[in-house]
Amino acid sequence: MLLSKYCASGNDFLIFHSFISANRSEMAVRLCNRFHGIGADGLVVLLPLSIAESNVEASYKWEFYNSDGSVANMCGNASRAVSLYAYHNNLASNRHNFLSKAGIITTEIQEILNAQEAYIQSKLGGYSIKGNFVEYRKNNVYEFELIEITIPHLVCLVSSMKDYYTLVADTQFLAQLRHKYNANVNIAFRDSHITYYATYERGIEAVTQACGTGASAVYVCIGDFAQEGILVPPSKEKLKVSCIDNEIYCSGIAKKICDCVIN
């Protein structure tokens, strides 16, 4: 079995294509394990559309698994990694649609940087604000906004980098919120035109190096749609987010890391 490892802004994924749809949860757990497997945030399988889906304008559909084997409707950074994989393997053109459980996702390779890397934009679609919530941590009050961009994200904008690092380091607190709201949890600090953010992700159950839908949720929470947002995750690989006609676009670099042969 041949699969490839791709990385998008710090999120890494194992990707292959197949003609067979199957439950690959156990495979995802085994291969994504960073000590006993290859190591990745998720496993993605590209599949042809079924006969019932033949009227859908998409080059393929995907099965997406988090590293714990759970299925996710969508992953922003994975959409860019998969777009480059599909292009590298002649499965789609530089601009194409694919079908996710969250619906049609449009991706575009805007610049080929070298044989392994490209700058890619994903159109994630619309967003909705589900509500505002107050949470307490060690006698401090924090305000969160619940925003859905294909998947739910809880966002807290803090007033200093000290608060940012303090909350990001408290993974027990973030885990409690993740389970309470069944959402990814984002902590963000805006410094001038640059926003630093970190995401505690469902299905990985940890703060990851980056999250595309998380960056997009933070951008929506800030609410300054007049300009493109520059979001910096723990990986330090910048993501750019914009809102055009009430739809969110997320852009950044994706790259191929290697091919892997599994016996």
Give, in order, the Cα–Cα distances in Å from 181 to each of 12, 63, 146, 207: 25, 24, 9, 16
Q: Are 209 and 73 in contact (CB under 8 A)?
A: no
Which one-letter amino acid corresponds to residue 76?
A: G
The distance of Cα 181 from the centroid of its chain, to the nearest Å, equals: 18
Residue 176: Cβ-neighbour burial (10 angstroms; 0-12, 13-18, 19+): middle
What radius of gyration do the chain's Cα atoms show?
Answer: 18
* DSSP one-letter code for 10: T
Supply 209's token pair. Answer: 């190096």
The answer to whether 143 and 132 are in contact (CB under 8 A) is yes
Contact in structure between 258 and 4 (CB atoms under 8 Å): yes
List the structure tokens of 24.
Answer: 């690959």
Q: Hey, is 182 helix, strand or coil?
A: coil
DSSP 21: -
Within 10 angstroms of residue 191's Cβ, the number of other Cβ atoms is 11
Q: How many helices (H) and strands (E) does the chain have?
A: 5, 16
DSSP state of 30: H
- Residues with catalytic annotation? 75
